[in-house]
Structure 1
């Protein structure tokens, strides 16, 4: 298994004290998904870090300056892929006298194969389904199958605003996330059993209750 050296940012490392490292649980899931062993840099020892800070600056002033407006994350990724292929990967690196594209071709043989599926980067949280079969997410309410009324469910929100609802690790509902204040979003099938229960309630004439007075 390959080892990946990371800085001590909270997204990866919760605590690093004298070599006793506590990694972020989400980062460990990422490491497991892609099949690598994480290793944290020594705090306050810059020489153990990878040379990545200059690349952040390069991206900031060479990609985000000409491209300042984006329609969506998909649009950003499309422009970034084009910029990498046509600009960033074609510049010559003075230290190596090669382009990144050339060096990548040489490094391909040492890389691990990617997993069959992408790592799930969705926002994660827990909700409690109300008695009426809805959960609240970002100011709106979304229906959940009636079997989950009064029970906890987990939610995941993707970058393209798809809301997925899970019960016992099983997908039970999906919705398109609405803008705040849009109101209620209902799938009729979720609450059909509730309406059936209402229709089965016995109806009595008012005279039956008058006899009790």
Structure 2
């Protein structure tokens, strides 16, 4: 979203989902650690909807429902890249030109008022992270499949980083030790 808008707003409103918050302690939000790092990286102040306050939660949910009803239904795509392309085109040509029900002004006319902060030079790494213990024979389990590494990693813990596009990279002590193209899972036992 930040790339689409060309910058980062001062504050961003989120629903109370597990990827954002780990709950509340005495009414104070406990931020999910990974999300907190993400917010710090981009330099915005995260806000969450107050529990049992339909007014703020509705603002978040109405936008999602509008996208589901007016864009997603009947749209087909084969990759996340194609989905993003189609969504951005729809936003530019349809959604952001439609006057807002409250203000009467289309969103594209209000962006200049937002005074967005510039984006960092490098995107935040949103890869899914998972630590795995390598067995005595160099194998480890990931997503229900057995994978094989060199026996030199037996008994050691590795980091599996999976990107949204399915690209998987394996790390040991911060150094990349393997790269797996999901289109060619050459080391999966499950497919033999």
For the criterion TM > 0.5, the same-fold answer is yes
CA distance 1:39–1:80, change in 2 (3 Å):
closer
Q: Which runs of 5+ in 2 are unaligned?
A: 1-8
Q: 1:122 aligns with which of 99, 123, 127?
A: 127
* RMSD across aligned positions (CA): 2.5
Partners of 1:176 and 1:127 in 2: CA distance = 19
- Number of aligned residue pairs: 180
Question: Residue in 2 aligned with 1:159?
Answer: 164
Aligned-partner SS, 2:191: coil
CA distance 1:31–1:131, change in 2 (3 Å):
same
CA contact (8 A) 2:14 2:60 kept: no
Q: Which aligned segments of 4 or more residues in structure 1 are displaced greater than 6 angstroms? A: none
CA contact (8 A) 1:5 1:38 kept: yes
Q: Which runs of 5+ in 1 are unaligned?
A: 184-213
Question: Residue in 1 aligned with 2:103?
Answer: 96
Q: Which runs of structure 2 are paired with 1:39-78 in the superposition (5 Å)? A: 39-47=47-55, 49=57, 51-67=59-75, 69-78=76-85
CA contact (8 A) 2:146 2:190 kept: no
Aligned-partner SS, 2:100: coil
Partners of 1:124 and 1:41 in 2: CA distance = 27
Q: 2:138 aligns with which of 125, 133, 138?
A: 133
Partners of 1:138 and 1:150 in 2: CA distance = 19
Aligned-partner SS, 1:83: helix
Deviation per residue, 1:60-83 (Å, 9 max, x gap)? 11001231x221111111111111
TM-score normalised according to structure 1 size: 0.72
Alpha-carbon deviation of 1:94?
4.2
Partners of 1:135 and 1:99 in 2: CA distance = 52
